[in-house]
Amino acid sequence: MALLVEKTTSGREYKVKDMSQADFGRLEIELAEVEMPGLMACRTEFGPSQPFKGAKITGSLHMTIQTAVLIETLTALGAEVRWCSCNIFSTQDHAAAAIARDSAAVFAWKGETLQEYWWCTERALDWGRGGGPDLIVDDGGDATLLIHEGVKAEEEFAKNGTIPDPTSTDNPEFQLVLTIIKESLKTDPLKYTKMKERLVGVSEETTTGVKRLYQMQANGTLLFPAINVNDSVTKSKFDNLYGCRHSLPDGLMRATDVMIAGKVAFIAGYGDVGKGCAAAMKQAGARVIVSEIDPICALQATMEGLQVLPLEDVVSDVDIFVTTTGNKDIIMVDHMRKMKNNAIVCNIGHFDNEIDMHGLETFPGVKRITIKPQTDRWVFPDTKSGIIVLAEGRLMNLGCATGHPSFVMSCSFTNQVIAQLELWNEKSSGKYEKKVYVLPKHLDEKVAALHLGKLGAKLTKLSKDQADYISIPVEGPYKPAHYRY
Amino acid sequence: MALLVEKTTSGREYKVKDMSQADFGRLEIELAEVEMPGLMACRTEFGPSQPFKGAKITGSLHMTIQTAVLIETLTALGAEVRWCSCNIFSTQDHAAAAIARDSAAVFAWKGETLQEYWWCTERALDWGRGGGPDLIVDDGGDATLLIHEGVKAEEEFAKNGTIPDPTSTDNPEFQLVLTIIKESLKTDPLKYTKMKERLVGVSEETTTGVKRLYQMQANGTLLFPAINVNDSVTKSKFDNLYGCRHSLPDGLMRATDVMIAGKVAFIAGYGDVGKGCAAAMKQAGARVIVSEIDPICALQATMEGLQVLPLEDVVSDVDIFVTTTGNKDIIMVDHMRKMKNNAIVCNIGHFDNEIDMHGLETFPGVKRITIKPQTDRWVFPDTKSGIIVLAEGRLMNLGCATGHPSFVMSCSFTNQVIAQLELWNEKSSGKYEKKVYVLPKHLDEKVAALHLGKLGAKLTKLSKDQADYISIPVEGPYKPAHYRY
Amino acid sequence: MALLVEKTTSGREYKVKDMSQADFGRLEIELAEVEMPGLMACRTEFGPSQPFKGAKITGSLHMTIQTAVLIETLTALGAEVRWCSCNIFSTQDHAAAAIARDSAAVFAWKGETLQEYWWCTERALDWGRGGGPDLIVDDGGDATLLIHEGVKAEEEFAKNGTIPDPTSTDNPEFQLVLTIIKESLKTDPLKYTKMKERLVGVSEETTTGVKRLYQMQANGTLLFPAINVNDSVTKSKFDNLYGCRHSLPDGLMRATDVMIAGKVAFIAGYGDVGKGCAAAMKQAGARVIVSEIDPICALQATMEGLQVLPLEDVVSDVDIFVTTTGNKDIIMVDHMRKMKNNAIVCNIGHFDNEIDMHGLETFPGVKRITIKPQTDRWVFPDTKSGIIVLAEGRLMNLGCATGHPSFVMSCSFTNQVIAQLELWNEKSSGKYEKKVYVLPKHLDEKVAALHLGKLGAKLTKLSKDQADYISIPVEGPYKPAHYRY
Amino acid sequence: MALLVEKTTSGREYKVKDMSQADFGRLEIELAEVEMPGLMACRTEFGPSQPFKGAKITGSLHMTIQTAVLIETLTALGAEVRWCSCNIFSTQDHAAAAIARDSAAVFAWKGETLQEYWWCTERALDWGRGGGPDLIVDDGGDATLLIHEGVKAEEEFAKNGTIPDPTSTDNPEFQLVLTIIKESLKTDPLKYTKMKERLVGVSEETTTGVKRLYQMQANGTLLFPAINVNDSVTKSKFDNLYGCRHSLPDGLMRATDVMIAGKVAFIAGYGDVGKGCAAAMKQAGARVIVSEIDPICALQATMEGLQVLPLEDVVSDVDIFVTTTGNKDIIMVDHMRKMKNNAIVCNIGHFDNEIDMHGLETFPGVKRITIKPQTDRWVFPDTKSGIIVLAEGRLMNLGCATGHPSFVMSCSFTNQVIAQLELWNEKSSGKYEKKVYVLPKHLDEKVAALHLGKLGAKLTKLSKDQADYISIPVEGPYKPAHYRY
């Protein structure tokens, strides 16, 4: 795929797989809108006043149908938008086509190479002469990372002419980042510096990206304000939990058609994602074993009737392995060699380093048989026994299915819209420093409230007398900040 | 699609969508074999003695990957096989291609017209000069129906020269059946009569086909012995229940990506299929309402916390409608007009007449928007509100997903192999008259036993003393015939 | 407790624990009536015509509050009733007192010795001069057994003067039966012969009693017609399954207060009772392991995510052991010695020989510590480790809690009323021979229908056209006899 | 019951129901110890060093078997203890007897009047001449309240001789508090002042008590340091959630024997307690309707398939009403009048004012029929229809059953022991000011870890490399403070 930017008749830039899928994408976007009441309510409430008038927003977030509804909510509120995906497999090509044709600049397709991925990220950040975006919607923090690394390199370059050396790292992905920056130094040695100066802030979608932000805050290296959307209750306790409860079995079924009932499923990690995955497997009739490092989460698992054991103890008994830890080196190639024939191995947590893909790919004599895209059987030479790896170790719900369903993404993305509005409205007030913030609870509660009507749920109203009795306002927020839901 | 039979280089007849998908089909067949221990055990136990040597078997049953493993089990036991699908949407084209290339004559593709469907059925029954098949594997009874109707017409024709009149019926599908027979009368007025004379018997897969057989038995019109595979415990209590529990959400997710959690699901019918569907929806976080005519099944539903109400009472509150009744006229167009916008309507029970597709299609001004194949949005002219109909009202798990998973189909299909063996082995013994038979319990228990090892289950052994105490043989059968499981 | 019959002021015979509890019993009976719509509907429908006018009914069935409502339904329909319990621990003394005071002759108390138990049975069968009862409601078949053994002995005695020898058997309970008969031979050598001649028939409540009846039928020794109530769908699939799902945790909690969540529960047997028990333990957060001899039931367990393993493989890992097999010698003292300290061992299936109580009681040096009635800790001398045995190995839900709840017993007992009516109405018609019968399906469906209104369930009505389409009557029965629900 | 303190032969003061139940209590305490690994581990770890040597601890917390194990853990660590219950129905008399005989001064019995209740509280706080206790274990905050009110009154009295006027309040319970203080002013006008001066701190068990503490902190009136045990994860997310999931059905079954399956249950509030209750009812086969004021909790309920509606909308359809809100005036007498006959009404959340007991008791013509202690049927005069109220509106799991099971209380109480140790060890360090504190996360994780072994759970160990990757210590704590579990 030649990496050339294309343009619509209206002049909008894009690079997608197949523009002819735009009509199909539009139909699915229209279906999704009915399932995304929070976003549609934002259009109704804020659309008339065009609060994002003049704002340039770059997004780096799975380019799916649901994201399309997010993007068109941002544009409905007045923003100009450029978008890339944050995962090489997660783009839905028809969604990308519809948005590119109708609403925003998109650089994304399903099955990017890593090099293509970073090219797309760079394109999404490139607003031409005017510099970078005003706001970033980030997922996993790659757009934020690129700017931070760019600024660091530009400072070094300014100081002593140092140019980043891609061979200085073993990490092939980070080599690409350094290469991009190295190239941009040649054409514009202040590209990222100008970008960060313009930037009002970022709202970050996931645990992994949020962790990076808190580390930068702790190190004093964070370059602009950030809103941690991940830790809104209506995000982390909904999308992570209920989203994965839906999309893990979806991905398994689409990729392998395997019967889940009767099988033994191993879930590495029992955080929100692991809880959703374990619930899904248990409900589908599997026997579930969980691994945990955290004794509290482990004890929660036991209370649900799940067995808690380390991978080593059960690796030969399990049919379906799922990583949800957000950490690395969870399932190593040595584990894989001990697995049952045709055991399924997949990741729904984090990057592809939860599973030792590198160890697998480089195992002497290993044979890869692609059943269909994102479903590979890897056969070990000695045993002739194989395992089935989904989405090359990357997020299987996005690689093998269509990610989380619209309704739960509406919760997450309504938080994003509110966070972006907050950053933009307060851009000159000084309210937000170069720190990481969580949305206030009343906005979190508002996001939830916007989703109840669609499900026929009706709230009970607190009387003034009752509100006084428990010392909270009648209209909320109803819980203290530390409340765990 | 021109209806011309093609031939492989080895001379085997076929008509499939795309022969180039044969390799992909083969890979998925190999995966499925690992999940179908009952069929593989049959190959090991019976393969060496080639019990089907000389037997010609016609199958009319969804041409899926799982069916491919059934077909190749039959051929591994010595049979010659011709196959068609029993549903216009249920063929998996890669499975059909692999079988056509490697193992048996196949006439099937996804998305047949009704006319193509009956052409395929006729092809599968046509063994050339020698007449028809020795044995039939039937699903829904269409192959059996064609022979019975053919024989009836030939008898009429012999008696008084009457030729069937396709315009004598309103049912468009039955018009096609009569047309086929009318044509065959011209070329061979004893075609079906010779066929039924050769025929050793049929083994029938589903409730609907079994009902037809018992009616013919009751009317004294059944022309050959039949084994009712559907009512083996390891079929009806597994495939219907656990199969649908798996494939209903699978079909919903592939067709619509809709979030099931939080929705209201209406399941018409609480038989085995309905029980599986209700369980699946409940587990996925939906609120489930069931309708039933049978007070016993209705009371079972209440014991699981499900609401039992007629469709009329709740039609405007439901998000997902699923018919599982095996009856007709369950959801009528007048119901559909009262539904929520984008309510999903689908059938997993029986023919497409559970849902009033005819009423919908002919509703004045209704507009059909095809989101993607088997997912249509129908918009009513007055309200501009639409509903989403899956698989054109036909079996949604086969039309929108890949049907039941391999493991549970292995239970059903091992019953099929055993039934076919039984009919063939007893073809001259007179054991089977022109009646409907169920497999004896010890064979049913054997089918189950063949599937336990794969799941790591280990049986407890009865001692002689214990067996005597409850008056059963140590080696089973363990239950009386009327036991309900 | 001196075994003397007492009399109410109205002359009714009884022997209960404490007549002062009658008021409390009456209050609970009134509560239960609201929960037993089937029985109350029988009173409304049949009460006015007094169909049991002149009928003498003996019952041998757990003397609980629910049974009290059954008894008073029988008397409301005109019967005279005498009652005993069919289990030494299952009587609720307040229920016995209320019935004894108000409605029927009762001989039952919680904690009978075996000798007292058989004395009570004899009393319940003794209708004075007129001989025995017209009808028997039996549970487990002890009343039926006594008559059959009595008749056999009387025949032997008439033939050759042989008198039964209680020392001829090791079984202590059967010794008591022989002793009773030996005594009665002295006073009336035709007592049981006359009894069986008068007897119209018996309706039997449970699997165990039904098995005995079918054996007698097979052996040609059955002395009178029997209706197998157990195998009505509305009995075996409700009381066994949903009843035990309710009463197993109830019994465990009342007896031990142990937290079920997080524990490992072992369920021996996965029939209807086992299915209910396993569901209850899984839902309460336990990890469940099932043992089975029957591969079909075993495969069902795997489909629900349960592990299937023999007791030997897991005996040291389990916290709660439950026997549901209806067989003997399931948990032996050698198993018990290998259990965890304070493992709970109980039986909800059948007689106290599912658990090797004899082996435990006679184990050298074992120490019994009674925590409270029906909750004993047994300590082994070598390990100082103990196990907790509930209800001395007898039915723990009746011994440690109050048995099944009223609603599900209303299903069972409505079958009993209908069976008794059927036997009585047909007493002279010759319809019933000395065989075992099941109630016809339309009566089974009627029982279910009587229970739907209480739960707010509303049936869907079949149209004539639909009924014809599936060839069943509009008003049912809706399913073939072999249908498994 | 005459309110006279009694003394054991060893001189320990007590007032319990029946000292002869001490042996029974001891047996159950020994059983509970096996289920309370956290407390037993504290005895092993801290017992030898006697850290509580010289500490006088007053407890006001349900005097159950589990609390007995807590008390004896405190005494095993060197403390002297005086105890009362914090609920008039929650004492288990055999537990109280065993502790009074063997370990600590106890003033508690099941079924205290309110006057007796406050007398007991006063006794537990009265350490004789030396003044009050060094430490308080409080549950609901009544002991803390009494001291704060006492100090306030003493200050008023010192200032201007004002004596509290019990008639100044409508609240009958607060009248009793004022009366007690009024009396004490006569004998020692500095009693509570001296008490608060000696006091090192309080550890508080529940939401209600914690709310009071935070209010006092906010108002600046808190007189001593407080540790909020309730908000340890291993407390609020275990005891509230899993404890109630266990004890709600337990209480319902013991009190009413009602079948839960098939019923409609209404759960007011979907916090941790409500979540546990809703899960329990759903699992038992009820249909569950939830009411909520908080949109986030409401949305969580919908994701589990629960209906969310205000009480008004469903009051006539519900069979079982459960309040879990921690607020007042949830179910009013006007609601009760609209309920079905024999609807069950109970509270598991908070005080008896969640249910309008006052309105019920004073409703003209209402009739109370006590079925058994803590189970009352209230009949309205106009309709003759009745409702069943459990535990007089107080905590039904403690009033009608035995409260939470030992294992989950071991989590809560291990937090209590650790909190008490923390307060005592830091009594002179100034670490704790007059504020409310939560235990640090590593102690919370420790509590969980102490409970895993008993359940056979085994943790996975983080490698140094992995720990660095996610920037946490290998040995924990593993989560940020705001993590919600």
Average pLDDT, chain C: 96
- Predicted confidence at residue B130, as pLDDT, reads 72
Strand intervals (E) in C272-407: 287-291, 307-308, 320-323, 343-347, 367-372, 375-379, 386-390
Place of tokens 């069931």: B290
pLDDT in tens, B279-313: 999 999 999 999 999 999 999 999 999 999 999 99
Å from A296 to nearest chain D CA? 5
Query: What chains are in contact with A, requiring at least 3 Cβ pairs below 8 Å?
Result: B, C, D
The pLDDT assigned to B384 comes to: 86
Q: How confident is the model at residue B351 (pLDDT cuts 50, 70, 90)?
A: confident
Over residues B394-439, the pLDDT tens digits come to: 999 999 999 999 999 999 999 999 999 999 999 999 999 999 999 9
- Beta-strand pair D226-228/D436-437: parallel
State residue C1's pLDDT score: 55
- Cβ neighbours of A304 in C, within 8 Å: 261, 285
Segment C179-190 shows an average pLDDT of 95
Instruction: Tell me the nearest-neighbour CA distance from A371 into chain B, angstroms.
Output: 6
CA–CA dist D482, A436 (Å, integer): 13
Contacts of A371 in chain B (CB under 8 A): 24, 27-28, 31
Q: Which element (helix H / strand E) includes B129?
A: none
Instruction: Name every residue whose Cβ is closer than 8 Å to that of residue C480 and which is 6 or more positions away in sequence.
Output: B214
Q: In what order do the strands lie in the sheet with C307-308?
A: C307-308, C287-291, C264-268, C320-323, C343-347, C386-390, C375-379, C367-372
Residue B337 burial (C-beta neighbours within 10 Å; 0-12, 13-18, 19+): middle
CA C74 – CA B355 distance, rounded (Å): 47
Query: What percentage of chain C has pLDDT greater than the value 90?
Result: 95
Query: What subunits touch chain B, counting only 3 or more CB pairs under 8 A?
Result: A, C, D
- The span from the first CA to the last CA of chain A, in angstroms, equals 47
* pLDDT tens-place string over residues A388-423: 999 999 999 999 999 999 999 999 999 999 999 999
- Average pLDDT of chain D? 96
Find the mean pLDDT for residues A168-191.
Answer: 95
Q: Which chains touch D (3 or more CB pairs under 8 A)?
A: A, B, C
Q: Which band of pLDDT confidence, cut at 50, 70 and 90, is reported for residue D389?
A: very high
Instruction: Give the C-alpha separation, C291 to C299, whole Å.
Output: 11
Q: Could you identify the residue written with the tokens 């021996």?
A: C268
Query: At B96, which helix (H) or strand (E)?
Result: helix B93-102
Render A380-439 in DSSP notation, one character per residue: -TTT--EEEEEGGGSBHHHHTS--S-HHHHHHHHHHHHHHHHHHHHTTTT----SSEEE-
Are A285 and B241 a contacting pair, CB within 8 Å? no
Confidence label for A82 from pLDDT (cuts 50, 70 and 90): very high
Among D170, D465, C73, B137, which Cα is nearest to A353's?
A: D465
Q: What are the tens digits of pLDDT across the range A20-79?
A: 999 999 999 999 999 999 999 999 999 999 999 999 999 999 999 999 999 999 999 999
> In chain B, whose CA is at the least distance from the CA of C300?
B238
Instruction: Show the 3-state SS of chain D.
Output: CCCCCEECCCCCEEECCCHHHHHHHHHHHHHHHHHCHHHHHHHHHHHHHCCCCCCEEEEECCCCHHHHHHHHHHHHCCCEEEEECCCCCCCCHHHHHHHHHHCCEEECCCCCCHHHHHHHHHHHHCCHHHCCCCEEEECCCHHHHHHHHHHHHHHHHHHHCCCCCHHHCCCHHHHHHHHHHHHHHHHCCCHHHHHHHHCCEEEECCHHHHHHHHHHHHHCCCCCCEEECCCCHHHHHHHHHHHHHHHHHHHHHHHHCCCCCCCEEEEECCCHHHHHHHHHHHHCCCEEEEECCCHHHHHHHHHCCCEECCHHHHCCCCCEEEECCCCCCCECHHHHHHCCCCEEEEECCCCCCCECHHHHHCCCCCEEEEEECCEEEEECCCCCCEEEEEHHHCEHHHHCCCCCCHHHHHHHHHHHHHHHHHHHHCCCCCCCCCCEECCCHHHHHHHHHCCCHHHCCCCCCCCHHHHHHCCCCCCCCCCCCCCCC
Active site residues of A: 62, 85, 90, 139, 205, 230, 235, 239-240, 244, 350, 404, 412, 416
Region B146-166: mean pLDDT is 97
Output the pLDDT for position B258: 97
Using pLDDT thresholds of 50, 70 and 90, give the confidence band for residue A2. Answer: confident
Going by C-alpha positions, the residue among B395, B291, B265 that lies closest to residue B343 is B265
pLDDT tens for residues D329-347? Answer: 999 999 999 999 999 999 9
Q: Which of residues 260-289 of A touch C (CB under 8 A)?
A: 261-262, 282, 285-288
Spell out the residues 6+ positions from residue C216 whose beta carbon is closer than 8 angstroms to its own.
C148, C222, C223
Active-site positions of D?
A: 62, 85, 90, 139, 205, 230, 235, 239-240, 244, 350, 404, 412, 416
Chain C residue with Cα closest to A301: C262
Q: Nearest CA to C42 among C66, C8, C76?
A: C76
Please, is C192 exposed, middle or buried when counting C-beta atoms within 10 Å of its C-beta (0-12, 13-18, 19+)? buried
Within 8 A of C309 by CB-CB distance, chain A residues are: none
Q: In sequence order, which residues have a C-beta less than 8 Å from that of residue B400 and are 6 or more positions away? A: B251, B252, B254, B255, B346, B374, B375, B390, B391
Going by C-beta distance under 8 Å and a sequence separation of 6 or more, which residues neighbour residue D79? D52, D55, D56, D57, D135, D420
Distance of alpha carbon C22 from alpha carbon D372, whole angstroms: 13
DSSP character at residue C459? P
Between CA C150 and CA C351 the distance in angstroms is 22
What is the percent of chain B where pLDDT is above 70?
Answer: 100
Assess whether pLDDT exceeds 80 at residue B1.
no
pLDDT of residue D15: 98
- Cα separation, A380 vs A390, in Å, equals 17
Element (H, E) at B157: helix B142-160
Q: Most distant CA pair in chain B: distance in Å? A: 74
* β-sheet bridge partners, residue A323: A268, A347
Chain C residue whose CA is closest to D373: C24
Residues of D in contact with C369 (CB under 8 A): 27
Residue B136's DSSP bridge partners are B58, B202
pLDDT band at B162 (very low <50, low <70, confident <90, very high): very high
Q: How confident is the model at residue A1 (pLDDT cuts 50, 70, 90)?
A: low
| CB contact C430 to A (< 8 Å) | no
Q: What is the rounded average pLDDT of the residues D56-66?
A: 98
**Which residues of C sit in the known binding site for NAD(+)?**
206-208, 271-276, 292, 348-350, 397, 404
- How far is D4 from C321, CA to CA, in rounded Å? 47
pLDDT over threshold 90, residue A220: yes
pLDDT per residue as tens digits for the range A324-364: 999 999 999 999 999 999 999 999 998 889 999 999 999 99
Predicted confidence band at C384 (pLDDT cuts at 50, 70, 90)?
Answer: confident
Quick one: CA torsion of B358, B362, B363, B365, rounded to 10 degrees? 150
What does the pLDDT average to over D43-50?
Answer: 97
Report the pLDDT value the prediction gives residue C386, as an integer from 0 to 100: 95
Q: Is A345 helix (H, G, I), strand (E, B) or coil?
A: strand
Mean pLDDT for the stretch of residues D212-218: 95
- Residue B47 pLDDT > 70: yes
In the prediction, which pLDDT does D1 show?
55
Q: The whole model's pTM is what?
A: 0.96
Check residue C61 and give its pLDDT: 98
Residue B229, pLDDT > 80, answer: yes
Q: Looking at the annotation, which residues of B are catalytic?
A: 62, 85, 90, 139, 205, 230, 235, 239-240, 244, 350, 404, 412, 416
Percentage with pLDDT > 90 across chain D = 95
Task: Check if the beta carbon of residue A60 is closer than 8 Å to that of residue A85.
Answer: yes
pLDDT tens digits, residue range A102-112?
Answer: 999 999 999 99
Can you tell me the mean pLDDT for B79-106? 97
Termini Cα distance of chain B: 47
Distances (CA, A) of D80 to A6, D137, D412: 81, 13, 21
Q: What is the C-alpha to C-alpha distance for residues C117 and C145, in angstroms, rounded to an integer?
A: 14
User: What are the pLDDT digits (tens) for C118-172?
Assistant: 999 999 999 988 789 999 999 999 999 999 999 999 999 999 999 999 999 999 9
For D92-145, write each residue's pLDDT tens digit.
999 999 999 999 999 999 999 999 999 999 999 999 987 899 999 999 999 999
